[in-house]
Chain A
Amino acid sequence: MSKIKVVHYINQFFAGIGGEEKADYKPEVREGIVGPGMEFNKRFGDEAEIVATVICGDSYFNENLEEAQAEVIEMVKKYNPDIFVAGPAFNAGRYGVACGTIADAVQNELGIPVLTGMYEENPGADMFKKSVYIISTKNSAAGMRKAVKAMAPFAIKLAKGEEIGAPDEEGYFSRGIRKNYFAEKRGAARAVDMLVKKLTGQDFTTEFPMPDFDRVDPNPAVKDISKAKIALVTSGGIVPKGNPDHIESSSASKYGKYDIDGVMDLTEETYETAHGGYDPTYANNDSDRVLPVDVLRDMEKEGKIGELYKYFYTTTGNGTAVASSKAFAAEFAKELVADGVDAVILTST
């Protein structure tokens, strides 16, 4: 039997062309293997081989999504591969998004199986794990060998159309698909087995994993709110008119910190929302509807609160990675602590 034909996609960095300064590199195809393709070919052994490698700069791909996709698809098509492999991209955001986007596009347009690999917090993972098989990798290229070791045999399986096991067996991100299977024991017996294991302190595997959310205990209450310095934070995307820091309308990569010293009321002329996940009409007409500056100023005057902190922090909460929002808040919470803020009102849309 002839070898499985693989086309491999990598970025300018892994092709050895250059770093950030070459990120606008246009798609190019080379016969045979380039960079990490070497490791893949080693792992493929006699079963598969990389017949061509497509190289594209990460910025070029992300800034010219449609053209880049079309160009790459044309290149891939010429080689008529049995499978398309992209990356692995580890935690490189643009590369991960490029790998996910192009894998998804190849799968849809050429109808061949595709595979990529990246770190769980790569935005590309959240974006494409439901449509594309993505092998979970480490967050840096130091994990290359391990990643390829998992990706290569999986690619062969996909190309051969073999049955794919559950995410934790195969090492890919769960696609949210449930598969029926015949268990040897009925549900009640399995539940009791699990309970016994739990009671005796043994390891057991749930059949219905809950999402993993960590919890933080509540802080003690504010003793005297009339003396408290209160800060406003929002995920509703309120920004000064014109969105000076260009906070993204979704999947925000940053937050804004804005001085509201002397601002008594947020008006249509001065503030708006950058959020792309809800109808902005109401917030654009009066941003106090999301960030209640007017009311807190009144209460400050009346002595109901100590003071309103002179900055507010804002981002757009839609599609924004948990890891990003966590990082934003961990950073600005330090400033709040340093400035003696006693309490925070966080509003969400």
Chain B
Amino acid sequence: MVKEIERAGIPVVHMCTVVPISLTVGANRIVPTIAIPHPLGNPSLDAAEEKTLRRKLVEKALVALETEVDTQTVFDK
């Protein structure tokens, strides 16, 4: 799906936990996430902390979308 969206001309960031799969599939902007069943959350945190964590990840995704890339790039910092 990520490739078809890119092919349609829309920049897309793939947020996923298993980065090797994303690389194999061909995503160009990749943001690694927390865990397979809760990529954008962590149930062991309290609600506010968890939302802060999610916010950070989404901000990272937005940075990825604002960053020019010419090859597959993992935004892991």
Contacts and interface: CB of A to CB of B under 8 A. Distances in A.
Nearest to A337: B8
A232 B7 CA distance: 17
Contact of B51 (A294, A347, A349): A294
A336 B10 contact: yes
Given A294-B51, A330-B4, A342-B10, A218 B40 contact: no
Interface in B37-73: 37-41, 43, 50-51, 54-55, 57-58, 61-62, 65-71, 73
Interface of A: 211, 213-223, 225, 228, 230, 233, 235-236, 278-283, 285-286, 288-292, 294-296, 298-299, 304-305, 315, 325-326, 328-330, 333-334, 336-337, 341-349
Contact of A346 (B1, B18, B21): B1
Contacts of B74: none
Interface in B8-50: 8-18, 21-22, 24-29, 33, 36-41, 43, 50
A326 B37 CA distance: 23
Nearest to B23: A213
A31 B6 CA distance: 55
The majority secondary structure among interface residues of chain B is: mixed
B15 A220 contact: no
Nearest to B4: A329
Contact of B13 (A285, A289, A299, A344): A344
A211 B25 CA distance: 11
Which of the listed residues B25, B50, B54, B69 has the most CB atoms from chain A within 10 Å of its own CB? Answer: B54
Given A218-B29, A219-B10, A329-B5, A347 B55 contact: no
A220 B68 contact: yes
Given A346-B12, A348-B16, A233 B37 contact: no
Interface of B: 1-18, 21-22, 24-29, 33, 36-41, 43, 50-51, 54-55, 57-58, 61-62, 65-71, 73
Which of the listed residues A235, A286, A342 has the most CB atoms from chain B within 10 Å of its own CB? Answer: A286
A282 B37 contact: yes
Given A280-B37, A289-B41, A295 B55 contact: yes
A179 to B, nearest CB: 26
A347 B24 contact: no
Which 8 pairs, one residue from A and one from B, show the smallest C-beta to C-beta distance? A289-B41, A329-B4, A333-B8, A218-B28, A329-B1, A348-B16, A282-B38, A344-B12
Contacts of A337: 8-10
B13 A346 contact: yes
B11 A348 contact: no
Given A216-B28, A233-B12, 20 more contacts: A218-B70, A219-B6, A219-B28, A221-B69, A228-B65, A282-B43, A285-B43, A292-B40, A329-B2, A330-B7, A333-B5, A333-B10, A345-B13, A346-B5, A346-B12, A347-B14, A347-B39, A348-B14, A348-B18, A348-B21
A233 B14 CA distance: 10
A246 B70 CA distance: 39
A283 to B, nearest CB: 7
Contacts of B65: 221-222, 225, 228, 230, 343, 345
Contacts of A343: 10-13, 65
B53 to A, nearest CB: 10
